[in-house]
Amino acid sequence: MDGIESVRKNSSKDAQYTRKQSTAKQPYFILSSANGEIIGSSQMYASGPAMESGIASVKENGATKTSKDNASKNDTGLAEEIRCQTLPTSI
């Protein structure tokens, strides 16, 4: 299975998300396949709730067959892009 198909298959499953914190104390998440391979990683977020919104967006849009711009406005009015990078993987 290629990376995009793996994202489509795993993005709706909360157990496939690992919530982390960078050394700069910024939250981010990793999306893994069923066999534990990393298939996506998020941007660094300003807060835990912002990261949870990013996860919710990937869950909602990850299984779609088309690409979608998931840019949104944060409290400061700046665009905050939610990205999931797909990597080749074999499951």
CATH of the domain at 12: 2.30.29.80
Rg (C-alpha) for the chain, rounded Å, is 13
pTM, full prediction: 0.69
pLDDT in tens, the chain (91 residues): 677 889 999 999 999 999 999 999 999 999 999 999 999 999 999 999 999 999 999 999 888 866 544 445 555 444 444 444 444 444 3
Domain that holds residue 26: 3-80
Domains identified in the chain, total number:
1
> Which pair of structure tokens corresponds to residue 12?
């709706």
Hey, what are 3's tokens? 């990376």
Q: List residues bridging with 32 in a β-sheet.
A: 38
On whether residue 17 sits in a domain, the answer given is: yes
Among candidate residues 9, 2, 41, the one with its CA nearest the CA of residue 22: 41
